């Protein structure tokens, strides 16, 4: 008959073997399985790789965002306002396995961060099934549900949500001289529900990127001093001349709205969209 110590040692060996296999099978993989841009594990969050289908096989190319930007794995683009997620899972406990967290770069609660790995956890972007939104308060643990709740602590703080009317899902600016307040519209029980937020004191809400930013330009008063015949101006927060500011409303109470050129680029001399970017 085997001793208790011998049995315990065997159980421990089996457990260690199981965990080793599990760690190996869920190790982060940088191979191309679909087309697109994907993040590398990088504390600066600037490096990523591009996968392109060529002659029936995927070709991989490595890239690095400019020094003032990070790679946003949600939008798959370099951004000056995105939140670096490389260490977002580092403080998560061992249990529960593979927890899900709000995506700080997600615009409408449709995406989330899932922490993969066991000892050395790393973030992966997940997307909720159609019709569902990420709920960080869902029980027994955060997951996709019919009602979204994805506020990221430290990203912005929640205030009142009375009287705001949603016409589409996403983040939108409030009329506010400080340019810090905005509202988030999410689908809940078949209708759009608004939640109001205020950006941290050192930042303002950028209505072009729909993010809190320390480098964005406040557009609240941009229409006040313009001649009445000027209704469109260049977007000070735009990066590609595709967006512009349109002044709408009555003559003495015009307000700015961010619009996008359907075809071409905004031309500040034409004060309209044209074929050549000039903003």
The ranges assigned to domains in the chain are 36-145, 157-213, 232-274
Task: Provide the phi-psi class of 232: left if phi over 0, else alpha when psi is between -120 and 50, else beta.
Answer: beta
Nearest alpha-carbon partner for 18 in 124, 120, 118: 118
pLDDT tens digits, one per residue of 72-112: 998 888 887 777 888 888 878 778 888 898 888 887 788 99
pLDDT surpasses 80 at 226: yes
Query: pLDDT class for 189, splitting at 50, 70, 90?
Result: low
pLDDT surpasses 50 at 140: yes
Cα 161 → chain centroid: 22
Return the minimum-mean-pLDDT range out of 7-21, 36-50, 211-225.
7-21
Q: Sign of the C-alpha dihedral, residues 166, 171, 173, 174? A: positive
pLDDT surpasses 80 at 264: yes
pLDDT tens digits, one per residue of 239-257: 889 999 999 888 778 889 8
Across-strand partners of 145? 133
Q: Would the pTM of this model clear 0.75, i.e. be above it?
A: no
Across-strand partners of 274? 265
Across-strand partners of 149? 135
CB 102 within 8 A of CB 112: yes
What is the edge-to-edge ordering of all strands in the sheet holding 255-260? 232-234, 243-248, 255-260
Query: pLDDT class for 153, splitting at 50, 70, 90?
Result: very low
Give me the residue label for tokens 């191979």: 31
CB atoms within 10 A of CB 97: 14
Rg (C-alpha) for the chain, rounded Å, is 23
* Chain mean pLDDT for the chain: 79
Strand segments (E) across 189-275 = 191-198, 204-206, 211-213, 232-234, 243-248, 255-260, 265-267, 272-274
pLDDT tens digits, one per residue of 25-79: 445 678 888 899 999 988 888 999 999 998 889 999 999 998 888 899 988 888 8
Give me the residue label for tokens 């990127």: 209
In this prediction, residue 87 carries a pLDDT of 83
In this prediction, residue 60 carries a pLDDT of 92
Dist. CA 279–CA 199, nearest whole Å: 27
């Amino acid at each position: 008959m085997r001793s208790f110590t011998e049995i315990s040692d065997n159980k421990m060996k089996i457990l260690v073997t199981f965990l080793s296999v599990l760690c190996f099978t869920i190790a982060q993989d940088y191979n191309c399985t679909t087309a697109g841009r994907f993040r590398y594990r990088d504390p600066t969050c600037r490096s990523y790789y591009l996968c392109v289908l060529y002659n029936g096989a995927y070709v991989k190319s490595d890239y690095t965002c400019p020094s003032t930007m990070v790679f946003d794995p949600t939008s798959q683009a370099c951004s000056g306002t995105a939140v670096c997620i490389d260490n977002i899972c580092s403080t998560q406990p061992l249990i529960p396995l593979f927890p899900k967290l709000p995506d700080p770069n997600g615009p409408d609660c449709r995406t989330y961060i899932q922490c993969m790995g066991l000892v050395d956890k790393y973030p992966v972007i997940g997307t909720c099934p159609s019709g569902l939104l990420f709920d960080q308060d869902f029980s027994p643990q955060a997951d996709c549900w019919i009602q979204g709740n994805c506020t990221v602590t430290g990203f912005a703080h929640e205030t009142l949500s009375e009287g705001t009317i949603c016409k589409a899902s996403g983040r939108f600016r409030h009329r506010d001289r400080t340019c810090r307040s905005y509202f988030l519209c999410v689908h809940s029980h078949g209708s759009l529900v608004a939640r109001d937020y205020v950006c941290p004191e050192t930042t303002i809400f950028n209505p072009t990127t729909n993010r809190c930013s320390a480098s964005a330009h406040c557009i609240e008063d941009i229409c006040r001093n313009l001649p009445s015949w000027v209704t469109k101006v260049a977007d000070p927060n735009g990066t590609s001349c595709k967006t512009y500011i349109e002044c709408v409303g009555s003559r003495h109470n015009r307000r700015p709205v961010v619009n996008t050129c359907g075809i071409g680029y905004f031309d500040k001399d034409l004060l309209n969209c044209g074929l050549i970017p000039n903003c």
